[in-house]
Amino acid sequence: MGTLQIQLNDELMEHLRHIAQAQAVSLKTLVRTALKAYLQPQPPAGQRYSFIGIGHSGKRHLSTQVGEILSDACGPVCWTGRNPVMPDQQIQLDSHGIFLRYIPSGGSIFPGETMTELNGVMMQYFHWYFPDDGSLWNEVAERAPALAQAGFTALWLPPAYKGIGGSRDVGYGVYDLYDLGEFEQKGSVRTKYGTRQQYLQAIAALRAARLQVYADAVLNHRIGGDATEITQATPFLQDDRVHPRGEPREVEVYTHFHFPGRRGQYSPFEWRWRHFDAVDYDARTQESNKVYLFEGKQFDDQVSLEKGNFAYLMGCDLDFQNEEVRDELIRWGRWYLDTTGVDGFRLDAIKHIAAWFFPNWLDEMTEHAGRDLFAVGEYWSPDVNALHLYLNRLGPRMSLFDVALHYNFHVASRMGGNYDMRRILDNTLMQQRPYQAVTFVENHDSQPLQALESVVEPWFKPLAYAMILLRREGYPCVFHADYYGAEYEDKGRDGNSYRIVMPSHRALIDKLLHARRHYAHGPQHDYFDHWNRVGWTRLGNDEFPKAMAVLLSDGPGGGKWMEVRRPNARFVDLTEQVREPVYTNDAGWGEFHCQGGSVSVWIEE
């Protein structure tokens, strides 16, 4: 599918005005010419439309102009409320732009859109405290058929390469991207999850079960250099990357990575200090709370502006302005695709990496693979505007985890029934940019005792999972610890040790997965009209004709009249929270119920 995104962007609007002036044409003529060039009745197979911006001239005025331009370029446009309809095409208008999507035979320019329309479900198959006994890859292989049978369509696997902690490293303290558990490095051959052979066998088992596999790509940094180097650097405080805290001075830094255990196999590339822009450790002074910016370097641009510039996160920060660095990451990505055959990437810590890097890297990966690859980035911010800004820079190549939705769940779960559930989806990607939203309830960073701890309380998780699994928006991701449960002990920020028990929600999630596969299809009607009790209905389609009604409450139980367009039909609660069936009236409406602090999923018999 080709996509033309007409984005409300003042900067690009001004740029187009200058072009129009230089060509002595009106802005409208310029845009019409551009649209005509893109909107061909039958685009060549595999063509991917670019995106341009018209500017912030007021949504209503902009919509009228676009309607006129599209009429000239593609024939009549039929406006139905806020949604223009064109033969064989779809247009979506929302507060962040207008998207025109041409759909040839089954293609998609938003990989996330394909998974959303197919009711795909991803599982994050690990959590931070998964045992470090090397069993995960074997477990994945054994459980692959059952996961596919349950309704999962893809697994996001943890970082598969050697970290500084060897067999104990979760994988984000990345040392050698080419060591998948094959070489004696950092005190072990295997990684926390197993050996290279076991990893590749797990991927083969997943593919045999028709499950997609997403690799976790940690490209931001390296940790655990093999030797020190001497260079000049300027110190900054961790919380202030704008104002230097001293003059440039000589530092001794662990920036030489020559991987003695691997001895050049797969790649002869050695990392030196010039490939990084900053570190947080000087072996001479051993000072803490400092970031050392190397001489002649600058922090990368197009990153989060937290701390003034949040390019530096940890370890040896890659200098993405260095061509050797960019070329090496492309070489590694190609090698990884050839070695593993994965179907896409989860991209770690992207708010610390220059946004301009990823379009080329992802294009190179897709071209090398010769097929569409799914990519989802972790941009950790509850501010949906920051997520939009990033996606605007990337276009349709990447989805983002809907961190804003996660924080809505987190806050609602802490308010004990005093949250306005009518607003639970407000200011989220799920609401505003659904085809680029990967929705989730919890993950390895937000789970108890972790760095970004923002727990969704257990009582609320059934409601949250119903929202991400049974609605049409977003590509949902189920967290391993929520499905299987987890028990572990660690120290909190106060220095005290805590025993954590995360209960398994597998019984309910399996029912929701069944409902997603068989009933969560067709038009959706929302009933977000009560402080506590909200619901929606799905009306089915030709392939899955049965209707479904979902009602949940974070407070008292009760009922709600909702339309399912099935007159005189019998509905039962799949969750078995409510035992009495519901019978719809002659007009296809029914009064559906749920208990307090729970969810009921009513399916047509």
Which of 324, 176, 323 is closest to 262 using CA atoms? 176
Q: Which long-range contacts (CB under 8 A, 24 or more apart) does 64-69 make?
A: 65/28, 65/31, 66/6, 66/98, 69/28, 69/31, 69/32, 69/35
Q: Which long-range contacts (CB under 8 A, 24 or more apart) does 146-152 make?
A: 147/123, 147/209, 147/211, 148/209, 148/210, 148/211, 150/510, 150/513, 151/121, 151/510, 151/513, 151/514, 151/516, 151/517, 152/121, 152/122, 152/123, 152/211, 152/478, 152/513
Q: Which of 328, 364, 378, 457 is catalytic?
A: 378
CB 89 within 8 A of CB 100: yes
Give the whole-angstrom CA distance, residue 347 versus residue 569: 46
From the CB of residue 106, how many other CB atoms can be counted at a distance below 10 Å? 7
From the CB of residue 80, how many other CB atoms can be counted at a distance below 10 Å? 7
Q: Which of 169, 182, 277, 348 is catalytic?
A: 348
SS3 content of the chain, % helix, strand, coil (to 5): 30, 25, 45
Give the whole-angstrom CA distance, residue 511 versus residue 342: 28
Give the whole-angstrom CA distance, residue 300 versus residue 310: 9
Q: Please give the order of strands across the beta sheet that includes 598-604.
A: 524-527, 533-538, 548-553, 598-604, 570-573, 582-583
Region for residue 299 given its phi and psi (left: phi exceeds 0; alpha: psi -120 to 50; beta: otherwise): beta
Give the whole-angstrom CA distance, residue 481 versus residue 521: 28
| Non-local CB neighbours of 314 within 8 Å, separated by 6+ positions | 173, 221, 223, 280
Give the whole-angstrom CA distance, residue 43 versus residue 38: 9
CB 96 within 8 A of CB 8: yes
User: Exposed (0-12), middle (13-18) or buried (19+): which is 58, by Cβ within 10 Å?
Assistant: exposed
| Non-local CB neighbours of 202 within 8 Å, separated by 6+ positions | 137, 138, 140, 141, 144, 157, 194
Active site residue 348: yes
Give the whole-angstrom CA distance, residue 348 versus residue 522: 34
Query: Quick check: helix, strand or coil at residue 452?
Result: coil
Which of 193, 144, 141, 202 is closest to 172 using CA atoms? 193
From the CB of residue 26, how many other CB atoms can be counted at a distance below 10 Å? 11
Instruction: Return the sign of the alpha-carbon dihedral for residues 549, 553, 559, 561.
Output: negative
Q: Which residues are catalytic?
A: 348, 378
